[in-house]
Structure 1
């Protein structure tokens, strides 16, 4: 086994990977080890030490051991994806990147497809890093320091799940012009003097990252003294600027407790910073006192009829719907079908080619797999109500074949009228959403499906159980990955049935 100690940066991994490719070393023979810059060395083999009481030594590999070959040319797009995925903090991040690079250079171009196990994992990590970067840029708050203390003029604190400091710092440098600032994280800090960007990391950071699991709950932040210069994040002692006091007073007066609904790492008090949870306590006390002083005028009693009024029918049949342009290229609209008072409603994305022809939901290949999933979960299709978030089939022609296309947001919103009418008619107790589009239709927000799998969401009074779409499993060439997806769907339907049994 060849032991490769590298700094936890993409540049260091790229240098090592280039040399490994030249020596044609397979991914299975490599052990990637994160270390600081002093400990990193050229390629080395893990060999037994002559002293039985010591660990294996790191010996530089001999250039003549393996005949070198020309370094392959890697497309810029692939390098960009690998660089983004390298920010994802996971024990196997460097081995995954090298395995993908190795397979690609060996002619396996399908390694980047979502149907491939490595390709799907790469795409998931790229999307997660991009989403986390957007959160960092949106939620980071800088505060001004006393000018008499010298630069930086602004300081900020954030706790990302992944190694996003370099990505975010470059964006902030573009935004903030020649203002000097510092952005600190538990694993390092970025400094901008108006012209030059510098990244600094504590010496113990790399060792911690290799020693601890990569989960938020178990990750230990290094002491503030290792990350921040002394006094740089101090509270009132660092500033005497009048506008600072005005801003803090204004912030306290308009504080609405919103941070309480987002993860703690988004608003946790930075080292030696002002205690934000105090605002939360004050807000709760103020609301409690206000509830005891506000008087509500008495309203005259309202008489209700004992007979429930009939549900107002749509202004026209679904077959004549023209709320979006999908009807132009679809044979027909596919309405929901199933038990009239089903306890569980299943919402998919849109009809497929088979459903577009016969007008019945879930009768194509995805529907057949759904039947298998329901059988394994102990549910009968006849007891459920099945429908789609979008009622018309959206497709495009590629090489003389119709290919499914994901509906746009405006098309999902256009069909919301019909979906809400179905909810009013069926009144399900639990809703199982298949795929990201269906989950988006019910929550009204852009969501990352993988973050909600295995959970139960309560939104607008509805219990929602997210699951993969059956068509996603059908695209998987890897049998193990396909079975994992199917097992996840079975578990989701089992959870929905349990919620119904518990009286949800």
Structure 2
């Protein structure tokens, strides 16, 4: 068994995979470390030296597919990609398709990565810092399940204009300085502290708004958690309100369909204008 480490970087893995493929090294003979942890059953067999004679023809579309799937964190993260590459390079393109067992897992990982990128766009809450401060003007804390931060955060460049912003995570971080996006694979401690300890000057206003637009009559907790997974609640300002709002809905508020502060108010009578009053009398 050949044990390799690509440092969880697609470009390094691509070079290693191309080199192995040139020697037609079977996927069953190769193992990649993931997040610095090597395969417990891998030996220290020496990889072949130099470039091998086999020249594979790889469709350009496959490289994009493999790069997307490489952002998935999970077992056999890199070995699965090499197995797909091996089969396609030997003429079996079904390995790229969902109808194949291997292709199905490949497509599942790509969907998970895409979904995680959507979660970043939907659930990041930027907090504005005091004016005239150095560094980022807006900061946010996010915990992604897959390595999507660098690619998915480009979405905010167009949304935030020339503002400086920062997104910190337990793993990596990005900082946009108004001109370029800087990605740090190991998020600096000062970035993490800044994103986690900043006070939101508009926090109370947002919580009041969220609690009033919450519609208990339409509550379906299972569907809601499908769109807003519970693992994100702890990092959302409104997350602390959600369990209480669900409880209130289940204990009767769902029947009223209104917040208690609204349902207790009396109705307001609307006075009719002269023309409207005459029409009402004639209609009788």
Gaps of 5+ in 1: 48-57, 204-224, 237-243, 298-504
- Displacement after TM superposition at 1:3 (Å): 0.2
Would the aligned equivalents of 2:127 and 2:198 in 1 still touch at CA under 8 Å?
A: no
Query: Where in structure 2 are the equivalents of 1:338-357 lying within 5 Å?
Result: none
Say whether 1:187 aligns with 2:171.
yes
Q: 1:122 to 1:292 in 2, by over 3 A?
A: closer
Q: How far apart, in 1, do the equivalents of 2:265 and 2:160 lie? A: 48
Give the corresponding residue for 1:150.
134
TM-score by length of 1: 0.43
Q: Distance in 2 between matches of 1:145 and 1:155?
A: 8
Give yes or no for contact 2:139–2:167 (8 Å, CA) kept in 1. yes
Relative to structure 1, the CA distance from residue 69 to residue 198 in structure 2 (aligned partners, 3 Å threshold; closer, same or farther) is farther
> Structure 1 282/28 Cα, relative in aligned 2: closer, same or farther at 3 Å?
closer
Q: Which residue of 1 aligns with 2:58?
A: 74
* Residue in structure 1 matching 2:234, options 252, 268, 271: 268
Identify the residue that residue 5 of structure 1 maps to in structure 2: 5
Q: Would the alpha carbon gap of residues 137 and 228 (structure 1) be closer, same or farther in structure 2, given more than 3 Å must change?
A: same
| Aligned 8 A contact 2:143 2:169 in 1 | yes
SS in 2 for 1:182: strand
Q: Does 1:197 align with 2:167?
A: no
- Relative distance call for 1:279 and 1:24 in structure 2 (3 A) is closer
Within the candidate set 120, 131, 137, 1:136 is matched to 120
Q: Is the CA contact 2:171–2:185 (under 8 Å) kept in the aligned structure 1?
A: yes
> 1:269 offset after TM fit, Å?
2.7
**2:240 — aligned with what?**
277
Q: Which residue of 1 aligns with 2:25?
A: 25
The answer to whether 1:96 aligns with 2:93 is: no
The 1:229/1:269 distance shift into structure 2, 3 A limit, reads closer
For structure 2, list consecutive stretches of 5 or more residues without a partner in the other structure: 254-258, 268-284
Q: Deviations over 1:283-326 (max 9, x none)?
A: 978x98938983899xxxxxxxxxxxxxxxxxxxxxxxxxxxxx
Q: 1:170 to 1:23 in 2, by over 3 A?
A: farther
Partner of 1:63: 49
Task: Report what 2:143 is aligned to.
Answer: 159
> What's the CA shift for 1:275?
8.0
Q: 2:222 aligned with 1:252, yes or no?
A: no
Give 1:101 deviation, angstroms. 0.4
Work out the CA distance in 2 between the residues paired with 1:114 and 1:282.
40
Structure 1 residue 30: deviation in Å? 0.4
Q: Secondary structure at the match of 1:267?
A: helix
Q: SS of the residue aligned with 1:88? A: coil
Distance apart, 1:170 and its partner CA: 2.1
Q: Deviations over 1:350-407 (max 9, x none)?
A: xxxxxxxxxxxxxxxxxxxxxxxxxxxxxxxxxxxxxxxxxxxxxxxxxxxxxxxxxx
Count of residue correspondences: 246
Q: CA deviation at 1:35?
A: 4.4
CA distance in 1, matches of 2:196, 2:101: 44
In the TM superposition, what is the alpha-carbon distance from 1:62 to its structure 2 partner? 4.9
Tell me what 2:270 maps to.
Answer: none
Q: 1:191 to 1:110 in 2, by over 3 A?
A: same
Greater strand content: 1
Bigger helix fraction: 2
Q: Distance in 1 between matches of 2:68 and 2:261?
A: 49
In the alignment, is the contact (CA less than 8 A) between 1:6 and 1:35 conserved in 2?
no
Q: C-alpha separation between the residues in 2 aligned to 1:35 and 1:249?
A: 40
